[in-house]
Structure 1
Amino acid sequence: MPGREYLRYVALGDSQTEGLGDPDDAGRPRGWADRLAAGHLAPHNPGLLYANLAVRGRLAGQVRDEQLAAALALRPDLATVVAGVNDVLRPRFDADEVAGHLEAMFAALTAQGARVATLTFPDAARITPLARPLGPRVTALNHRIRRAAHRHGVVVAETTHHPVVSDPRLWSPDRLHAGPLGHERIAAAVAHALGLPGSDDSWTHPLPPPSAAAPPAGPRSAAAEVRWAAAFLGPWLVRRLRGRSSGDGRTAKRPGLLPVASVAHLPPGLATVDGKDGKSAHPKSP
């Protein structure tokens, strides 16, 4: 629905929506929802207010229980709902149960008049070979997300099939969260799915080749996989065994509707890779 005006945007979700992997200059999580609000929505919607209720580590059912009522109370005319990856990682995963929580949020928000957007997830094995057993789970969840979204008129940003999503440069070192380039691409994908002014499919385009000075982004060695497992997968598993979460004791970073001017300004252009040094050329916060 191009040209629709948005005055209140509320984001619900987990660590990706909170913005892990995309720190601002002060080290605070920024992320794709901030980028969507500041770089794609605010330029065409003067006076836009934005809240971000997402908290890292939350399962889909926890997002529903902890964030939905607060979101409805803010009466958004635009909401994004992205959750389910933490469920996929759990030993006991039920795609129908997870999709049921997402659909309940879709139904409640659309019934109140909000336009809602969500996205599908890439196959984790394309990013982390050790995650190959999770592939069928991701496929099953994506299928149910599409069906639930169709039933409630929810917009879906399809990030699943595009080769660029497996480019290591889009991911943070933990491979569980997008990096700055990845968060910017997600924001652009959602903007395109919503048909926002100035959006297009350029977010699907591959990144330029790395410079000669940059190491090639090829298959990771077995040693690199072991180092990754020790640095990131191991601590995650320890928290699970102890019944803990990275989000324990945390609350939403932006629980109320605030002017988007309070988010570091991010222009809508896609981040690229600087041809001279291979570093991200995404804009920095002032």
Structure 2
Amino acid sequence: MIRKTRPGSFPITDPAVIAAGGLDVQLVLERERGSSVEGAVLHLTDRDLAAADAYEDDDRARRRVVLASGESAWAYLDADPLRSAQRIVVVGDSIAYGRCDPRGGWTSRLAAAHITRNEAAHRVFNLAVPGSFLSDVSEQTPALLAARLPDTLVVAAGVNDCAIPLASADAPYDVPAHIAEHLGSLAATALNHHARLVVVGPAWIDEARTGDYGGLRFTEARVRALRASVRAWCDGHHVDFLDLWEPLRGKPELLLDGIHPTAEGHEALYRHLGAPGC
């Protein structure tokens, strides 16, 4: 039995799958607090899992879920984690917080659209803190979730981790290992709260304008490396990765100081996340 899910229908868009099965909809698990779905747990080999992944089309993704027994298992869910979410908690740094935007950034726009879809059931809690490193987010998040009953945990942090501290510019660059450690901890936290982990990648920066930012220097090369590390970790652990690089790339006018998006920049990030489906 899978806890906190309910069966729903999902449109199939792959013509080959429709032709093979004769249906254009498929049942899919949707999260709903207090609900459960009866079923069986299959013990598969890596080869079996690979075959199942190949069979499923791009509209579904294999993700970890918690069973009523407390054990975890793989299940195929809606590949769009925000479309299927109800209660979303966002943790991260100043960009997720919405600094430099009177409207509260892309997170505030997401919240408005998400809650409008279902005012009774949908919630978005923006708990991002400017200046946060991924280690801060990993340490502080467990205590924040229980009262908010999330089904989706969105992590938008890491840019501060890849900055060069001017006081020790020759320090070793170990962000990939650092990222793996703290994202792994956040994945465990999300699973403990029956929530789906969603990791937001960094946005493009205008290196020519970042300069000395509070004793830190940001470079495009390091932010690119961070983006690659986060994506690789998410791919390797079957965790949702939302890439925010392209909406701002090569558009310095959408950045106030080379790092923080303007209001128009945040609007571009929000639209890139798929505003009509949020």
Deviations 1:29-77 (A, max 9, x none): x1111111112x2232332122111111111101111223312552311
Shift of the 43–148 alpha-carbon distance from structure 1 to 2, 3 Å rule, reads same
Once the 2 structures are TM-superposed, how far is the Cα of residue 108 of structure 1 from its aligned partner? Answer: 2.2
Which of 256, 262, 269 is 1:179 aligned to? Answer: 262
* Candidates 185, 195, 202, aligned match of 1:114: 195
Q: Residue 77 in 1 paired to residue 133 in 2? A: no
Residues 63 and 94 of structure 1: is their aligned pair in 2 closer, same or farther, counting only changes over 3 Å? same
Measured in 1, the distance between the counterparts of 2:179 and 2:198 equals 17
With a CA cutoff of 8 Å and minimum separation of 6, indicate the structure with the bigger relative contact order.
1
Alignment of 1:1-286 (within 5 A): 1=78, 5-24=84-103, 30-39=104-113, 41-47=114-120, 48-91=122-165, 92=171, 93-95=173-175, 96-110=177-191, 112-125=193-206, 128=209, 134-160=219-245, 162=246, 164-172=248-256, 174-190=257-273, 192=274, 198-199=276-277
- C-alpha distance 9-175 of structure 1, shift in aligned 2 (>3 A): same
In 1, are the aligned partners of 2:90 and 2:154 still within 8 Å (CA)? Answer: yes
Tell me how large the CA RMSD over aligned residues is.
Answer: 2.9
Conserved? CA contact 1:17–1:32, under 8 Å: yes
- Conserved 8 A contact 2:106-2:270: yes
Give the unaligned 5+ runs of structure 1: 25-29, 200-267, 269-286
In 2, are the aligned partners of 1:5 and 1:45 still within 8 Å (CA)?
Answer: no
Q: Residue type matched to 2:127 in 1? A: L
Question: SS of the residue aligned with 1:9?
Answer: strand
Q: Which has the larger radius of gyration?
A: 2
Cα distance, 1:169–1:4 mapped onto 2, change above 3 Å: closer
Structure 2: where are the runs of 5+ without partners? 1-77, 166-170
Percent of pairs with identical residues: 30
Structure 2 CA distance for partners of 1:74 and 1:164, relative to 1, 3 Å: closer
Q: Distance between the aligned counterparts of 2:163 and 2:137, measured in 1?
A: 16
TM-score (norm: length of structure 1): 0.57
Larger fraction in helix:
1
Identify if the C-alpha distance between structure 1 residues 73 and 139 changes in structure 2 by more than 3 Å, giving closer, same or farther: same
Evaluate the alpha carbon distance shift between residue 167 and residue 136 of structure 1 in structure 2; reply closer, same or farther with a 3 A threshold: closer
Distance 2:158 2:206 in 1: 17
